Structure 1
């Protein structure tokens, strides 16, 4: 509950002289509005008590970096009490500077309420007959959008198209195999979007259906692709044993698969294996899978260019996926050496992923400042493309940095602020 002017003013009136904060043992700040101490003086006092990793006290420049504002703005805050009209900013300042909340008009730090905004129902496509060619073109366009950034905003359209396909299936006759292939494609797309948004139950429902339809068609390449997408989600959701079951199933298909799909599956298998305790002790099996994938990479890149499954295959993407495996083995220096030296053109989500892998590797090596800098670059982009999976990676990075000797640095406070901003996009500007 926030402190009110009545409750705090009463404390002052009963004493008759000293303000209530002096009576409670706090410094003799000048009185501000609403029977509270001047917030700028409070912030300046506690900012000077804050210590950086090198033992020096926080400067106005340090606080400016943490808040993402200019040093002049902090000067105005401290000397002219500007910028304290935001409740969330007061709460953040109280947290990072260890200010007793009551001094900023907060009796206690409020908890985060549960999200109550109802999900909007997806739009409905209503046409008397299905145009399978148009639906296929739509799937290709949505997959390209997902590869470059995110297809998240199009999820209602994806789910509406799935309903349309299911309604058309009994009447498709000779086109039934084609419609079933489209069902596999749309279910894998929906599952991948929901994986990126960290919705495990819904994602796996779609991916299980994709595997089921692919299995019914008895097309090994299509089945391997559906299993690849499901393995990716299972690994992300921490269900490594189930991912390994899919990996064993895929191993029987590998000799008959095209090179690009073979490389993708070998990399996923290596990542699943790397997440096991056995691999931490004996990484030979994981390294063998990486070597096998590398051996097929040249043929995969020299293929016909038939990207029917929209596999994110390039030499740079191979390096990113290899780095993820090495990091899972807790080999951070090798992971950094594996990462590409340049960003992938137009591949926003992959670039954010690579930045966060590098940040995690630097953090494990004790190079905390570099880790924080990469995290600060990645978070706004991940938020813009609504990539919850990457925001969660950034959150784990921030927790690691906060628990390190670098934990009191303003960069770590800034990371926490960026992660806690509400809504989509960049959040509220400070």
Structure 2
């Protein structure tokens, strides 16, 4: 369905179109009244005073809040031009939006200058772009969206071209769609272990978010870029099949997470995003520890405890909006919290406590953790169990869990997670269990399915 924006470059809206071709005056009035932070009661008083000054008093008595609300809802804006001018002046409405100008429809590709006093009407199908993102996110959640990258890149170029031509409200909507596409591209490239490309997309997301001046979007973009840096730091460098930590990238990731928490202090961001950020920062600090007594360990454990307050806080039902303001497709439910906590505990050298967290996940009922169709998250659970048993020295169980996870990651074509299985297999090969048939079978599966770059 097409959305209608009005003014030069679609600066205002969206507003429906009246039968006479002008924007719905009631919607226009409500939009600008709310933008001015005026209640219906306050505006009724202001409007009444101005009508009295102009000798245009309401014959049915003083204007009331109910009258204002009905005027907006039922589009009963006075036809009298003087009254319209008073409304426009009080609410800082461009007169052209209330029909005090010439009407002209334009296409978004037109760059010709229009004469003063002309109201441009811009039609654009925003829903089509959002649906493409929604469909790709759903595919990514259950399998792999790598085959959609060309479509994502094409949408980005299309939206960039539109961005250069629009202003105001429509510009914000276009930038939100651009941001969503860059976040989507980041997810897809990360899953393919293309960390440089994922990082470039995350950087673009931060740039666009800052242009919107929307703190929720800025926080989400910073969080996403921090996650890319952190994963690149943990999984980007491989030696003899095993990951080597890049402390420089991990410190840079920590700065992005700290930037999100700074925004939380200065303004309002979604509590679940703040919770996820604390989980990520706690793991980063634990991985940067210089030893078991490093102060970073205590700081990480305190931070991961604090993140619990955000579980299911201010839930968002729409998963597209959820991705935009919480930084994740699932939100922070109890299952996600315990999995994140287990990662921090493993990084801090506390695998016994990490196993206790993972066992709690298995006991959670539906609605409190990942659903059965969230394939990659179910396999991620097995991967974390394998890592934990590996750290505990239970090599047979670590191998069995790694096999289970590998089958799923192969089916959904997730190289980043298969690389994690390869890391575990390489460490198992050096253990006392390294010559076992189980470890050999795991290696054979990797030889067949995983082709490192």
Pick the TM interval, shorter chain.
0.5 to 0.7
- Write the distance in 2 (CA, Å) between the matches of 1:380 and 1:145: 18
Q: Is the 8 A contact 1:275 1:329 kept in 2?
A: yes
Per-residue CA distance 1:375-400 (angstroms, 9 max, x = gap):
11111110111111110110010011
Residues 130 and 407 of structure 1: CA distance in aligned 2, closer, same or farther (over 3 Å): farther
310-319 or 363-372, larger mean C-alpha shift = 310-319
Paired position in structure 2 for 1:385: 412
- SS for the counterpart of 1:305 is coil
Shift in Å, 1:167 = 1.9
> 1:228, 1:292 → 2: CA distance?
17
Match of 1:155 in 2: 149
May I ask how many residue pairs the two structures share in their alignment?
Answer: 296
User: Any gaps of 5 or more consecutive residues in structure 1?
Assistant: 1-126, 425-430
The partner residue of 2:262 within 252, 262, 275 is 252
What is the match of residue 274 of structure 1?
286
Q: 1:58-137 to 2 correspondence within 5 Å?
A: 131-137=125-131
Give how far 1:305 is off.
2.6
Offset of 1:245 from its aligned partner? Answer: 1.2
Q: In the TM superposition, what are the counterparts of 1:2-401 in structure 2 within 5 Å?
A: 131-174=125-168, 175-238=170-233, 239-255=249-265, 256-278=268-290, 280=292, 281-282=294-295, 283-300=297-314, 303-307=315-319, 308-310=321-323, 311=328, 312-313=330-331, 314-339=333-358, 340-341=361-362, 344-401=371-428
TM-score (norm 2): 0.62
What is the CA–CA distance in structure 2 between the aligned matches of 1:222 and 1:346, rounded to whole Å?
Answer: 28
Are 1:274 and 1:325, in contact at CA under 8 Å, matched by a contact in 2?
Answer: yes
* 1:63 corresponding residue in structure 2: none
1-structure distance, mates of 2:347, 2:254: 15
- Cα distance in 2 for partners of 1:242, 1:218 equals 23
Q: By how many angstroms is 1:172 displaced? A: 3.0
* Post-superposition offset of 1:304: 4.6
Q: Give how far 1:309 is off.
A: 3.4
1:402 paired to 2:429: yes
Where does the alignment leave 5 or more consecutive residues of structure 2 unmatched? 1-107, 110-122, 234-248, 364-369
Q: State the distance in 2 between where 1:279 and 1:251 align.
A: 26
In angstroms, what is the RMSD of aligned CA positions?
Answer: 2.1
1:248: how far off?
A: 2.0
- Over 3 Å counting, the alpha-carbon distance change for 1:278 and 1:411 in structure 2 is same
Residue 419 in 1 paired to residue 446 in 2? yes
The separation in 2 between residues aligned to 1:184 and 1:418, in whole angstroms, is 38
TM-score normalized with structure 1 length: 0.65
CA distance in 1, matches of 2:291, 2:127: 46
Q: Which has the higher strand share?
A: 2
